[in-house]
Structure 1
Amino acid sequence: MAAAEPVTVRILEREYRVMCSPPERRALMESALFLDGQMREIRDSGRVSSMDKIAVMCALNLAEEILKLRQELAAREEKIDRRISDLASQLDQFTGTE
């Protein structure tokens, strides 16, 4: 396992040092860029001005998105499981192994 190294990311004109391993560096940088963009959108909307409130609003937006994606994934998994079960039943009927 690679040793963690400090990496500086910039979010809303503030720098943060984060420890991460070299293989995780790219994902960290992409995450920081994404977060910066999301926070800038909130700030630029003019409805929220303090850094704390911007961060909380961004966290809430991202949490909502994650929960929605989890629900969609669970629904897809359930649909796939039903389809597999239906196909297995049809196969059993076709082969006479019920």
Structure 2
Amino acid sequence: MATIGTFTLNADGSYTGAIHTLAINLKKVQFRPVTDKSSDKSPDYRVTAGNADLGAAWKKVSKDNNDYLSVRLDDPSFGAAINAALVVIEHVHTLVWSRSNGHKED
């Protein structure tokens, strides 16, 4: 699991922060709450950097009963979409990523 970003929770329920990897250096990223969800499966947040839409996030609860956001980031410059999680680590909202272990069976 690698830390690729840190975020601050704002009073309006949004998050602001940065994402840094070997290929990405985004200093002003926002997770904005979706107020007009069309269904229960619609994302809870839209992830943006400036005017660019980077992806979406869904509210989840871990096996240990901790709230987190399941994040899917995508951009034409990426080789493939990135799955990550926004979790609290030592009181900091941290975006973590880990490489998939391979193909999931249905």
Q: Classify the TM-score, shorter chain.
A: under 0.3
Bigger strand fraction: 2
Question: Relative contact order: is structure 1 or structure 2 higher (C-alpha 8 Å, sep ≥ 6)?
Answer: 2
TM-score (norm: length of structure 1): 0.23
Bigger helix fraction: 1
TM-score (norm: length of structure 2): 0.22
